[in-house]
Chain A
Amino acid sequence: MMFEHVLFLSVYLFSIGIYGLITSRNMVRALICLELILNLVTFSDLFDSRQLKGDIFAIFVIALAAAEAAIGLSILSSIHRNRKSTCINQSNFLNN
């Protein structure tokens, strides 16, 4: 009962993360939901395989998520400096 309960949790939070990623109007919330999705994938993987490989994979993904969050937030700050607004609706950057 405990095993399936935790899997339900991870599926539920994964769907919430995807929902927040698709329907968010500012970029910071999209990045937050992206970090949530990454974290949940590692959590469900570590929960399924109880060997050492799960731990190593989790450390790997944590480092990857840290690098990706740093790069994404720096891009976000430069976009905000250029355009004074971080709405995703206004992202017609290739339209000059």
Chain B
Amino acid sequence: MDLPGPIHEILVLFLGFVLLLGGLGLVLLTNPIYSAFSLGLVLVCISLFYFLLNSYFVAVAQLLIYVGAINVLIIFAVMFVNGSEWSKDKNYWTIGDGFTSLVCITIVFSRMTTIPDTSWYGILWTTRSNQIVEQGLINNVQ
């Protein structure tokens, strides 16, 4: 969308913050209904990101299919599974949990150090120039 600059950045930051909280809530909450609803929140936020990226059809398709169908199906499945066994609090932190959390944190940090180093502007300018060439070819054909 062609919003003014600061509104665009504020929306991106706000959606990013909500995505952070939703992701944490999805994994750390013990009740599976809560994690299913936080999945719905994450999917709605990603759909709003698609709106900001000018791909309107994918945004609406994501909203309809992911949130409207898949999330509802997941909530139905959670309701079918018997809810009385989730109240037992067997939520101790095993060695495997700690190991996978270490692996995931190293994945995040290694990506965070490589993402600013790669020159994204070269890749973006090549894709934009391809887009301009495609537009030129389409206009020439028509």
Contacts and interface: CB of A to CB of B under 8 A. Distances in A.
Nearest to B56: A55
Interface string A4-26: 11111101111111111011011
B115 A8 contact: yes
Given A6-B16, A36-B26, A11 B107 contact: yes
Contact of A6 (B12, B23, B86): B12
A84 B134 contact: no
B50 A46 contact: yes
Contacts of A5: 12-13, 16
A50 to B, nearest CB: 6
Given A9-B20, A16-B27, A46-B55, A2 B9 contact: yes
Contact of A19 (B32, B104, B111): B104
A11 B112 contact: yes
A18 to B, nearest CB: 6
Contacts of B81: 26, 28, 76-77, 80, 86
A49 interface: yes
Given A36-B39, A59-B61, A65 B73 contact: no
Contacts of B127: 48-51
A2 B120 contact: no
Interface residues of B, number: 62
Nearest to B12: A2
Given A9-B16, A23-B97, A29 B32 contact: yes
A19 B9 CA distance: 29
Contacts of A33: 26-27
Contacts of B105: 15
A53 to B, nearest CB: 10
B85 interface: yes
Contacts of B13: 5
Given A4-B120, A15-B105, A62-B61, 17 more contacts: A8-B111, A11-B111, A15-B108, A18-B104, A23-B101, A32-B26, A33-B26, A33-B27, A35-B39, A35-B66, A36-B39, A43-B49, A51-B127, A51-B134, A55-B55, A58-B62, A66-B70
